[in-house]
Amino acid sequence: MPRSSQGERWRPPRGRHGLPPEVVARSQRERLLAATMQVAAEKGYTPMTIADLTKRAGISRTTFYELFGDKEACFLAAYDAAVDRLVRRVSAAYEAEGRWPDRARAGLRVLLEALASEPAQARLALVDVAAAGPAAQRRYRAAVQRLTPLFDDGRDFAPGGRSLPANTSRMAAGAVAGLVADELVAGRAEQLPGLLSDVLFATLVPYLGPDAAAREVGEEI
Amino acid sequence: MAATQTRRQAILAAMVRVVGQKGYKETSVADVIAEANVSRTTFYKHFEDKHTCFLAAYEMLVEEVFGEVVAKCDGGAPWLARMTTGLTTLVDRFAVDPALARTAVVEVAAAGADARRLHWEAVARFTEYLDAGRELAGGRELPANISLMSAGAVSGLIFDELLAGRAAELPARLPDLLFAMLVPYVGPQVAAAEMRRAAQRH
């Protein structure tokens, strides 16, 4: 998933540098996680080898096995790290606004822009992730659910929102995930930011109904 | 000819069952021929490999489930009633056949891009039916891809239940699933009323 700074990630100087071993290890781990998302997105999870990863990250095979037991464990850690970064950015944008519909709009905008900025990784994270096995599939669903607390503030905002089904935020998240996956499958990742109105409507509609949701979407686009 | 066709059908049905139980990646041609009770030669007479066999099996599965759902939906009934019946039929079918459900919704995602396209096309066939609900919206302007929102919300909930191995509990989730399916079209009040009605029936 997103973050474009991976190319220029800091590396410790080679040879004798007197850096504490934990600093070196952290840098190696971060490089490896970034490399894993890049290579998996370019090559696909199944054909990706540990040799690809150590080469891209500039670490030895020994170091790889000090950090992770196998390719899957490394991929899952990389996936979690990418989701963490994305959720933090979306949450920050959301928290910066006041009214719930505005907060939702701000959060979703950041989400779509982040995914559009890294199309291959977005596709990997949301569409092709299933190829990495059942554990990865569960991680994907868990990632979608991490965004549900943002939706659930709609309960307090909407008249009668408290009596909505307990699952309402999961439904909204599912609707958003469906719209986004459809664009990614069609190879239109770059156009994701243009989906903001629809994604916002999908988020608001279970809480507000189609009329109020359409009014909110119509304001300030 | 009839026997050949029967053997082909048996292989396809076996593929759906085995993948639903073991997972797509873990499934081998040996598993499928053992389940179908056919020889390896017979398998390769009909299919090039596991993947092409899975794609054919998936197409058969979709035809079967879709046909069943459509058959239960009386064309003359109002949209709301038809959609409720359709969703109930789908969920009941998944509940009695958890392996089929898992293949249809979860494992298909692990079977490569071709398989995911078939899955997506199947979802689209259901959403076409949903889209008649636009009429209920009166003069409102609804987003063009509203049926995708509806289908995404429903399939996300079903996916989670199946991934957690709770296919048998899907019928109990029907009120929530109905709410998710209807709400983009009719809003929370009407969707909640349908949900309560479904909960009473359950």
Q: What is the ipTM of this complex?
A: 0.84
Residues A150/A103, Cβ–Cβ less than 8 Å: yes
pLDDT of residue A1: 47
Picking from A41, A70, A99, the residue at the C-terminal end of a domain is A70
Contact: A137, B116; criterion CB under 8 Å: no
The shortest C-alpha distance from B4 to chain A (Å) reads: 33
Residues A181 and A153 in one domain: yes
Alpha carbon distances (Å) from B83 to A179, A201, B169, B175 = 21, 22, 20, 13
Say which residue, B125 or A173, is predicted with more confidence. A173
pLDDT by residue for chain B (202 residues), tens only, comes to: 567 889 999 999 999 999 999 999 899 999 999 999 999 999 999 999 999 999 999 999 999 998 888 888 767 788 888 888 899 999 999 999 999 999 999 999 888 888 988 988 888 888 887 887 777 666 567 788 888 888 889 988 999 999 889 999 999 999 999 999 999 888 898 888 888 887 787 6
Contacts of B38 (CB under 8 A, 6+ apart): B7, B10, B11
CA-nearest residue to A217 within chain B is B143
Report the number of distinct structural domains present in chain A. 2
What's residue A74's pLDDT?
A: 96
Is residue B185 one of the residues assigned to a domain?
A: yes
Domain limits at A211?
A: 73-218
Separation of alpha carbons A202 and A126, rounded Å: 18
A15 close to B (CB below 8 A): no
Q: Does A212 share its domain with A153? A: yes
| Residue type (1 letter), A115 | L
How far is residue A151's CA from residue A171's CA, in Å, rounded to a whole number? 10
Q: Find the domain containing B73 and state its range.
A: 58-201
pLDDT of residue A114: 96
Contact A33/B at CB under 8 A: no
Domain total for chain B? 1
| Separation between Cα atoms, residue A171 and residue B191, nearest integer Å | 13
The model's pTM: 0.85
Q: Are residues A49 and A86 in the same domain?
A: no
Tally Cβ neighbours within 10 Å of residue A19.
11
Cβ of B188 and A138 within 8 Å? no
Percentage of the residues of chain A whose pLDDT score is greater than 90 = 57
* Closest approach of B104 to chain A, Cα-based (Å): 14
**A201/A109 same-domain check:** yes
Last residue of a domain, one of A70, A91, A123: A70
- Sort out which chain A residues have CB atoms less than 8 A from B109's CB and list them: 130, 137
Residue B184 and residue B142 in contact, taking contact as beta carbons nearer than 8 Å: yes
Nearest to B188 among A141, A182, A207 (CB): A207
Does residue A221 register a pLDDT over 60?
no
Instruction: Flag whether residue B136 sits within 8 Å of chain A, measured between CB atoms.
Output: no
Size of interface A-B (CB pairs under 8 A): 130
Write out chain B residues lying below 8 Å of A181, CB-based: 152
